[in-house]
Chain A
Amino acid sequence: MSTFLNLTVYGLSDGAILALAALGFVLIYKATGVINFAQGELLLIGGYTLYLTFVVFKLPLVLAVVVGAAIAIALGVVIERLVLRPLIGENPISVIMVTIGLAALLNALVQIGFGTQPVHRPRILPDDPVRFAGAQLPLDRLLVIVIAAVVLGVFTMFFRYSRHGIALRAVADDQQAALTVGISVRRAFALAWALAALSALIGGVLLGDITETSPRLAAFGLLVFPVVILGGLDSVPGTIVGGLTIGLTANYISGYWDAGFAQIGPYVLLILILLVRPYGLFGETRIERV
């Protein structure tokens, strides 16, 4: 029982971070129709940004987070402006390729700036364990779950009900029509990238806290794919369900079965789910009428 509880907490916290990473991915996809292969790198940049503000610049924590967020948002906007805007209206596959190039570039920039070794920064989250139902539960993981839940909740509400949320979805549907109603497609795209970078910052910082801040953070980005597919590429709530499903599955597999399968477990699950629901659990069915 205590093992189960433990695995559940760890699974949920892994899942929460995955959901944060996936959130940015979904935002970008939904608004701009771009599959962002640099999502893992945004996570990486997020982790290093806090290192920069907190350790290198020695800012107090709160300020470090605020400045970090500003940097992340600026980065998102710059990427959109320099790299993606010129490609508005091009074949989505070409745009995918650009994000692959972007991933290589961002990764290399981190390496140039911070080297290939892990960097060390003081932990932000308290890591004393709490005892509950006979299990030793790590406080930091519990906090990760709470923080991620709040962030995801805010994003979901924003997307569903706010005027800007609707505008982002409108842009995703039909850019020309969005222009005719006065929505600035460029601003919407920039907003999507900024929000994606922001959520990646939160994810990267949390992940860095419970693991390490090193170039390896980027590898976590690959897991975003099964997450978003499970949830549905364009569903914000889907990322939460997808993230938690993948997090829990991987942890249960490695707790009760062969941990090696934890690596491909998510993919097998993904294929099975796609066979039943081709647009993921919550994805929008593409409207095809003739």
Chain B
Amino acid sequence: MTDVSLHPAEAPRQGSPALLDIRGIEVIYDEVILVLRGLSLAVPEGKVVALLGSNGAGKSTTLKAVSGLLSTERGEVSDGSIVFDGKNITHFDPARRVRAGLSLCMEGRHVFEHLTVHENLVAGAYGRRGGNAEDFDLVYSFFPKLADLRTRVAGYLSGGEQQMLAIGRALMARPRLLMLDEPSLGLAPLLVQEIFGYIRNLNQETGLTVLVIEQNARRALEIADHGYILEQGRIVIDGTAAELSENPDVKEFYLGMGDAGRKNYRDVKHYRRRKRWL
């Protein structure tokens, strides 16, 4: 508990200079709904950072702000700034951010349903003139299953297959920072394991920097170097993965652990608990 900073915005930034630095951003939707309230976080080059938080906390919104998708949902960054690789990208258009090396793999997969797997990958490398054979080989080597599905129409793939495709597509842009929004959503345990394995491999083998949102906190903290916990539009806790895994609140609310290991779902009672940091 002691090492965990409760006020991350004021906390000194540790480690190498951050590749992505979000400085106190505020996001509003529809000109009325304030979702992020002065959120700050930093993703150091070459690291894996996990962003945790309950539903509706604003995790996806954060990634949308970084990748420039807010405008499509009547949202905007109304305060603060987003710095990527030393450049203030707060108001870049999305295509330019992709070219700068930011790649987002959206929540809910969002593959191009009517395109084949191969065409999806071609589209993924759009900013790089369609990609070369090497790019395809890389993706197919990480996801051999995709190679078999090459000519299938993406819309009819199963959820897990679509998720692989979505990550593969994001890789086609050869990003410097890969942002993954709930990559394990709806995936079978074996696959979750595999996908997190891939992410770790990618990070270790290619030095790719990763920012990952995850509900499966255990898995995320296993591969992450650093973690942030987001509640109601603010960072409430941050720390190294190890620190977070030991934090009792994180254990109870995110890792589903009682005092003695994992709790049986049948033992859960009807009462409302309150997170101590709120």
Contacts and interface: CB of A to CB of B under 8 A. Distances in A.
Interface stretch (A21-29, A135-143, A177-185, A192-200): A177-185
A170 B67 contact: no
B198 interface: no
A182 B112 contact: no
Given A173-B114, A173-B115, A287-B155, A178 B69 contact: no
Contact of A182 (B72, B95, B105): B95
B129 A163 contact: yes
Given A88-B72, A170-B123, A289-B155, A183 B112 contact: no
Contacts of A180: 67, 69, 94, 98, 103-106, 110, 170
A167 B98 contact: no
Measured as residues with beta carbon below 8 angstroms from the partner, the interface class of chain A is 20 to 34
Contacts, number: 95
Interface in A179-234: 179-184, 187
Measured as residues with beta carbon below 8 angstroms from the partner, the interface class of chain B is 35 or more
B277 to A, nearest CB: 32
Given A166-B122, A289-B156, A177 B67 contact: no
B99 interface: yes
* Most chain A Cβ neighbours within 10 Å, of B111, B129, B155, B156: B155
B169 A181 contact: yes
B233 interface: no
B127 interface: yes
Contacts of A181: 98, 103, 123-127, 169-170, 172-173
20 contacts: A88-B72, A163-B129, A166-B119, A166-B122, A166-B123, A167-B126, A174-B110, A174-B112, A177-B110, A177-B111, A180-B94, A180-B170, A181-B123, A181-B125, A181-B126, A181-B169, A182-B99, A183-B127, A184-B93, A287-B114
Interface of A: 88-89, 163, 166-167, 169-170, 172-184, 187, 284, 287, 289
